[in-house]
Structure 1
Amino acid sequence: MTDPKLIEKAIKGDDGAFLLLMKQHKEQLYRTAFLYLKNEADAVEAVQEVTFRAYRSMRKLKEPSYFSTYLIRIMLNYCNDQVKRQKKTMINGELAASASKSDSYEYMEIEEALSRLEEKYQKVITLKYVHDLKIKEIAEFMKCPESTVKTWLTKGLSLLRQQLDEKGGNSHV
């Protein structure tokens, strides 16, 4: 949990406080970017761009307790824009972005299965299990009722399990 006083200092323009906050969230932001962009260099660039955007608009943050959600929203918006841009640069029917490499075959299977789900299912699963957000926070983030988030989460996990079972993978999801 991030110290609310540190966030308040950053909102008031304390560069040192902002830097500390970004160091605390750097790994989480990188993982999110890598999950979407599937490329180490693009993920690092995304973290840099999100840091800049967060710094530029930090004073607009009204509620310090939403700082993590604020960063995640900026990251997801940036990643969605980048993915759309990548899709526009198709060469011979394949994305120009290179596929991710992972040490874990199981992780690659889950990542591949997750990428085949509808975007709403991908988002709720990522926000819940990668960012460890509560259902209420996800609902606020996605601007929908909590019951909808619960439904999407249940349905998304079920579809994810089905895909992994069909491939003969482990359904540890």
Structure 2
Amino acid sequence: MISEEEQNLIKKAKEGDEGSFEALILSCKGKAYNLALRYVKDEQDALDVLQESFIKIFRHLDKFKEDSKFETWVYRIVVNTCYDSLRKNKGRQQERPLAIREEEEGGELELPDNQPLPEDVLLNREHSSYLLQCLERIPEEHKRIVVLRDVTGLSYEEIADTLECSIGTVKSRLSRARQRLKEVYISGKT
């Protein structure tokens, strides 16, 4: 569960030590941002969600019961804030696919080129784009669990804590969600 070091940081943060709070947040900021980005699909919106989440965390730190990892509690708040943001912006939100960034090329130094062939890069991009489109076509509950496990890489335990359900429920929901995603994926390919 929680390490002794994390318990000390939480205790100090609850007592008002800003440095301890900052250390706790920095330990999970990157993963929390990636999680937000997967939900809201825009870098600026993800940063806004993250900022709003961190404000909520700071204000409600005293409510953290320490029965799960701090980062799991943070992810739960980020996911809920993402849903709040998506609901607020539903009417004005446009379809914005996640961009897949290309590697930047370096200077004059000659190194062996281990990069994939341009054709392979294009095929991977098309596949990723299609997979993201399919993900948008499955029910929200299914999308949520696939994103948490397969995109963000959270463990079953972290997902169970985030969604406040049992590990068995996570596994069964994930199985159904993957099956539904597979059906949507295959039906669009034919």
4+ residue segments displaced more than 4 Å: none
Question: Which has the greater radius of gyration?
Answer: 2
> Aligned residue for 1:142?
163
Deviates more, 1:23-32 or 1:122-131: 122-131
Computed over aligned residues only, the root mean square deviation of the Cα atoms, in angstroms, reads 2.6
Deviates more, 1:133-142 or 1:14-23: 133-142
Distance in structure 2 (CA, Å) of the matches to 1:143 and 1:73:
9
Does 2:73 correspond to 1:70?
yes
Q: Do the aligned residues in 2 keep the contact of 1:11 with 1:59 (CA within 8 Å)?
A: yes
Pick 1 or 2: higher relative contact order, CA cutoff 8 A, min separation 6. Answer: 2
CA contact (8 A) 2:76 2:163 kept: no
Structure 2: runs of 5 or more not aligned: 102-123
CA separation in 2, counterparts of 1:136 and 1:155? 18
Return the alpha-carbon distance in structure 2 between the equivalents of residues 115 and 27 of structure 1. 24
TM-score, normalised to structure 2's length? Answer: 0.73
Matched residues, number:
164
Give the stretch that moved more between structures: 136-145 or 120-129.
136-145
TM-score, structure 1 as length reference: 0.79
2:158 pairs with 1:155: no
Q: Find the counterpart in structure 2 of residue 32 from structure 1.
A: 35
**CA spacing shift, 1:99–1:111, aligned 2, 3 Å:** closer
1:125·1:153 contact (CA, 8 Å) conserved in 2?
Answer: yes
Q: Pick from 43, 59, 62 the counterpart of residue 59 of structure 1.
A: 62
Alignment of 1:107-146 (within 5 A): 107-146=128-167
Q: Percent identity?
A: 29
The separation in 2 between residues aligned to 1:65 and 1:147, in whole angstroms, is 17
Deviation at 1:81, TM superposition (A): 1.1
The amino acid across from 2:143 in the alignment is: Q
**Which AA in structure 1 matches 2:139?**
E
